[in-house]
Amino acid sequence: MKSRNRLAQKFFREPWKGYAGQKNSAAQKAAQEWILSLDADEIVSPELRAEIRKLFAAPEKLRPFAAFNFPRRTFFCGRWIRHGDWYPDRQTRLWRRGQARWTGENVHERLEVDGDAGRLRADLLHDTAETIDRQNAKISSYSGEFLRDARAGGAGQIALIFSSVPRGVSRAAIFSGSVFSTAGRAATSPG
């Protein structure tokens, strides 16, 4: 396969290992010293790209750290959420190979770092759901994994229900405006 850019491309096919397992497998295959991990619904903002490039242009700023985190700004139902538990939702996604490992539950895995993490200021952009219906479908698609994790951990069904609803939705709605107004209009619209 001919590459369209100057970067080497490799493709691997392997059985599904769960979210954390799959991310660890990908990180083990990385050839460079530093790894940047993104989910399919995340975008590196131009400001974050510039901040990372500036950081790598000064290797002395990299030396003390095993990883870097940055705020994640979520686009939800047509609005950027800038309050509540959804912002600044700091994510550690840039790390030195061999100094971090994905752990935790499926869907809500987290990166555990062996060493200090530096803090970047620019946002990672997260395009999560354009409507309440899409958010409900997304939550529903994860329900089997939530149930398996809850049963494996001994959690009851009530704990499962509450763990699948984002904590900050109501606070984000209050501070960011009428996030849920789209759902209300859809429910009352003729059609």
- Report the 10 Å Cβ neighbour count for 91: 19
Q: Give the span between the Cα atoms of 117 and 162, in whole angstroms.
A: 30
* pLDDT value of position 188: 32
C-alpha distances out from residue 51 to 41, 110, 156, Å: 21, 23, 44
Residue 2 lies in a domain: no
Residue 1 lies in a domain: no
* pLDDT value of position 91: 96
Residue 89 lies in a domain: yes
* pLDDT value of position 9: 78
Instruction: Please provide the DSSP assignment of 106-174 as one string.
Output: SSSEEEEESS-EEE--SPEEEEEESSHHHHHHHHHHHHHHHHHHHHHHT--HHHHHHHTS-TTHHHHHH
* pLDDT value of position 176: 45
pTM above 0.85, yes or no: no
Considering its fold, how many domains does the chain have in total? 1
Residue 189 lies in a domain: yes
Q: What angle do CA 85, 36, 136 make, to 5 degrees?
A: 40
Residue 126 lies in a domain: yes
Residue 156 lies in a domain: yes
Residue 13 lies in a domain: no
Residue 65 and residue 116 in contact, taking contact as beta carbons nearer than 8 Å: yes
Residue 53 and residue 44 in contact, taking contact as beta carbons nearer than 8 Å: no
DSSP letter, residue 35: E
pLDDT averages per 10-residue partition of the chain, 191 residues = 60 90 94 94 97 96 97 92 89 97 84 98 91 74 67 54 47 44 35 34
Where in the sequence is the domain holding 125, given as residue range(s)? 20-191
* pLDDT value of position 189: 32
Residue 42 lies in a domain: yes
